[in-house]
Amino acid sequence: MTATTPETATVQFDRFMQAVRTVLPPPSKWALLATYPNSLAECIIDALWSERVKYATVVEIIERYRAFRRRAGGDGDQDGAPELIRTFEIGFDAWMDQIGNHQRAYSRDRAPRKAELVLQGARAAVAARVETAAQLRDGYASQSTPFQDFHRIWLELPSQHSGLTWERLLLVSGIDTVPPDLWLTEFAANATGRPQSDQSVLDLVGRAAQEIGATPLRLRNAIWQHQTKSDRAEGGSPAGSHRLAPGAAANEEVGRSARR
């Protein structure tokens, strides 16, 4: 990429800032990013259900999962992947009726149900020996072999090769330093009118968040919510859509637990 001069950097930030102010809702309307620092089970559900849905749907499913676990004498906010797998012992259809829903991963009749992906994601965690949210965070910090195995297996799940839900999984587990995902880099590129490196995206987000008095993670989540809403409306893929014309403008608790 051509070196960026201070002048062009300023222009790009101004364009990015204009997009943040005009394309996104005002910060007071931004959804809080729920995190589940003690529950890999809830992280997996959130990550795999968040695509192409209103986030209120995810909140409802998490609450139903917690209620189901309470009735069984458990605590969903402390569940790892093995506990999540065991909830499917009631039967797959019953799980969708009582906890999840029948939504598919994408809009094709043969697309897997999101509930199927949740089960597969939990099994991937167990297979890789990353069974708790703490182990996920520790594995990320050390880039351990189990963590890398989990990452590889996750990306091999149906429709997960883009890595969007993987980055979401890391964020909702309490990791706030993950690289930008496709939706974030797409938003930045379209706002500024040029491709951006991961570091440039992080710099833009950090500066913009400071400008509006929010945290970088909260701004990232607002962009995620905007891009998923646009993705549902257009039926496009994160890498190939043009939700914001190039150069257009023309959760405050970040580490917050989702326990209610």
User: Tell me, what's the pLDDT at 13?
Assistant: 95
Task: State CA 251 to chain mean position distance.
Answer: 13
Q: Count the neighbouring beta carbons within 10 Å of the beta carbon of residue 239.
A: 11
| CA nearest neighbour of 204 among 77, 1, 18 | 18
Write the DSSP assignment of 15-40 as a string of letters. Answer: HHHHHHHHHSPPGGGPPP--B-TT-H
| CA nearest neighbour of 227 among 18, 23, 58 | 23
Q: What angle do CA 171, 177, 183 make, to 5 degrees?
A: 60
Beta bridge partners of 257: 35
Among 96-110, 120-134, 141-155, name the one with the lowest average pLDDT. 96-110
Note whether 46 and 59 are within 8 A (CB). no
Greatest mean pLDDT among 26-30, 142-146, 213-217: 142-146
Q: Where are the domains of the chain?
A: 6-29+179-234, 40-172
| CA nearest neighbour of 218 among 254, 248, 187, 183 | 254
Hey, what are 57's tokens? Answer: 């749907």
Hey, what are 209's tokens? Answer: 């968040």
Q: Is 33 left (phi over 0), alpha (psi -120 to 50) or beta?
A: beta
Hey, what are 82's tokens? Answer: 């093995």
DSSP 132: S
User: Tell me, what's the pLDDT at 242?
Assistant: 30
User: Tell me, what's the pLDDT at 246?
Assistant: 32
- Work out the average pLDDT over 8-12: 89
Q: What is the reported pTM?
A: 0.74
Amino acid found at 8: T
Q: Tell me the pLDDT band of 235, cut-offs 50, 70 and 90.
A: very low
User: Tell me, what's the pLDDT at 16?
Assistant: 96
Reported as a single tens digit per residue, the pLDDT across 204-231 is 999 999 999 988 888 988 898 888 776 5
Does 259 score more than 90 pLDDT?
no
Reported as a single tens digit per residue, the pLDDT across 35-82 is 999 999 999 999 999 887 888 899 999 999 999 999 999 999 999 999
User: Tell me, what's the pLDDT at 254?
Assistant: 29
Note whether 112 and 158 are within 8 A (CB). yes
CB-based contacts of 122, cutoff 8 Å, min separation 6: 41, 44, 81, 82, 84, 85
